[in-house]
Amino acid sequence: MFQLNENYLKLPGSYLFSTIGKKVAAYSAAHPEEKVIRLGIGDVTQPLAPAIIKALHEAVEEMGHAETFHGYAPDLGYAFLRETIAKADYQDRGCRIEADEIFISDGAKSDCGNIQEIFAPESRIAVCDPVYPVYVDSNVMAGRTGEYDAQTGTWSRVIYMPCTAENGFVPQLPQETPDLIYLCVPNNPTGTALTRDQLKVWVDYANSVGAVILYDAAYEAYISRDEVPHSIFEIDGARSCAIEFRSFSKNAGFTGVRLGFTVVPKDLKSGGASAHSLWARRHGTKFNGAPYIVQKAATAVYSEEGRAQIRDQVAYYMRNAKVIYEGLKEAGYEVYGGVDAPYIWLRVPSGMTSWDFFDYLLETAHVVGTPGSGFGPSGEGYFRLTAFGNYENTQEAIGRIRALGR
Ligand code: PLP
């Protein structure tokens, strides 16, 4: 008789967004006259930029002619895109990254979920708390996390690094030594970011204990402060201890188009084996290449007009972030994030849990956000609002919250 992978049975249900969905549906059914504004889910709302649409049309046209038709793409990505990325995102910033260290994929979620496969089953992982749930869940599926304690919402073998207002949302070096350290900068959900000096501490630590930093920079395009690095490879020593994930979802609106990439430097070695060759092997075996038309569209992101257009889109979302941040602050809330990321993280009023505040906001302001406890135990007492809505709705939502007073 077959047996299923029991590790999957240990996963708590995808409680967060389904519970939010049910609560909002129930509320809307009972109050059809109310306009509910959703600032909960991290999906973009602006259409693709004209330069990207033009590149897509041209690539589709090429696919219609035998001379310019493209079949399977190279597993690791087309050279035209890998070279463009290596130059624009790394070499022009002074990072020593070559095109053949860049692996094109269908998005950062796949890569940061799959990367754990190239590491030993007994690897200990460390995660920031709160954080994007994919890091822990993908290790649960691989049986690397021990047992779940429903009371505390923690896994016995996972090293949690609390990031709260008390430590300025900067993870402290753990007491137990991990093998794999997930860092998400700028951070989802807190919207905060590590500076170059803060990241250097982690790079030095990882090199000294022989750990790997799995660095998720999906929100890199939103960085506004000079002291926040755009890549971990801006930090000396990162080539021997870091892998970086990037996405076209949030900088260029590719959430429905799908494209991302992962940088695995050739210096990242354990014994005689290199992470680069294992990831190339894994990618080549399990992934058949991202679509030609999408890789062409991604290349347009780096053209002069593409850059200008996506800069405007990021600015549009960051104007929303400012409306949310300043509006909540003026309303008396304790607010974080929103400067280097499209997420605003606020402390819920004392005496309320994250879910109490969710209900309160839905019922009184008809605004939907995400309870912080859904991102990890240290997210309790916090709440996430996203800047990905449209400007008018964002303004209206914040106006309603302000009108409630504190
Ligand atoms: N990493 C983080 C931190 C995210 O928040 C998200 C999406 O919300 C992703 C990765 C997924 O990116 P992609 O759309 O490229 O799969």
In sign, the C-alpha dihedral spanning 198, 203, 208, 213 is: positive
Pocket of ligand 1 (CB under 6 A): 42, 107-109, 112, 132, 184, 188, 216, 218, 247, 249, 255, 260
CATH of domain 13-47+305-404: 3.90.1150.10
Phi/psi for 3 (5° steps) reads: -125, 140
Q: How far is the CA of 406 from the centre of ligand 1 (A)?
A: 33
Residue type, position 261, single letter: F
Closest CA to 269 of 231, 185, 212, 192: 212
- Ligand 1 atom nearest 247 alpha carbon: 15
Q: Find the 253 Cα to ligand 1 centroid distance in Å.
A: 12
The sign of the torsion formed by the CA atoms of 397, 398, 400, 404 equals: positive
Place of tokens 């708590």: 12
| CA–centroid distance, residue 345 to ligand 1 (Å) | 18
Give the nearest ligand 1 atom to 187 CA: 3
Q: DSSP string covering 74-134, please? A: PTT--HHHHHHHIIIIIGGGT----GGGEEEES-HHHHHHHGGGGS-TT--EEEEES--TH
Domain 53-303 classification at class level: alpha beta
Q: Pinpoint the alpha helices (H) of 175-235.
A: 196-209
406 residues of the chain, pLDDT tens digit each = 999 999 999 988 776 888 899 999 999 999 999 999 999 988 999 999 999 999 999 999 999 999 999 999 998 999 999 999 999 999 999 999 999 999 999 999 999 999 999 999 999 999 999 999 999 999 999 999 999 998 999 999 999 999 999 999 999 999 999 999 999 999 999 999 999 999 999 999 999 999 999 999 999 999 999 999 999 999 999 999 999 999 999 999 999 999 999 999 999 999 999 999 999 999 999 999 999 999 999 999 999 999 999 999 999 999 999 999 999 999 999 999 999 999 999 999 999 999 999 999 999 999 999 999 999 999 999 999 999 999 999 999 999 999 998 7
Please tell me the residue having the least CA distance from ligand 1 atom 11.
109
Structural tokens at position 193? 């970011």
Cα 269 to Cα 276: distance, rounded to the nearest angstrom: 8
The edge-to-edge listing of strands for the beta sheet with 159-162 is 102-105, 260-263, 242-247, 212-216, 180-184, 125-129, 159-162
Q: What is the pTM of this model?
A: 0.97
Q: In what order do the strands lie in the sheet with 370-371?
A: 335-337, 343-347, 382-386, 370-371
For ligand 1, atom 9, the nearest C-alpha belongs to 109
Identify the pLDDT of residue 71: 97
Residue 160's DSSP bridge partners are 127
> Domain-by-domain residue ranges, the chain?
13-47+305-404, 53-303
Q: How many angstroms is it from 351 CA to the middle of ligand 1?
A: 32
Q: Let me know the angle formed at the C-alpha of 193 by 187 and 196, rounded to the nearest 5 degrees.
A: 135
How close is the Cα of 113 to the center of ligand 1, in Å? 10
Contact between 18 and 12 under an 8 Å Cβ cutoff? The reply is no
| Residues 233 and 90 sit within 8 Å (Cβ to Cβ) | yes
**Which pLDDT does position 364 carry in this prediction?**
97
The 10 Å Cβ neighbour count of residue 316 is 15
- Phi/psi-derived region of residue 227, left when phi > 0, alpha when psi is between -120 and 50, beta in every other case: alpha
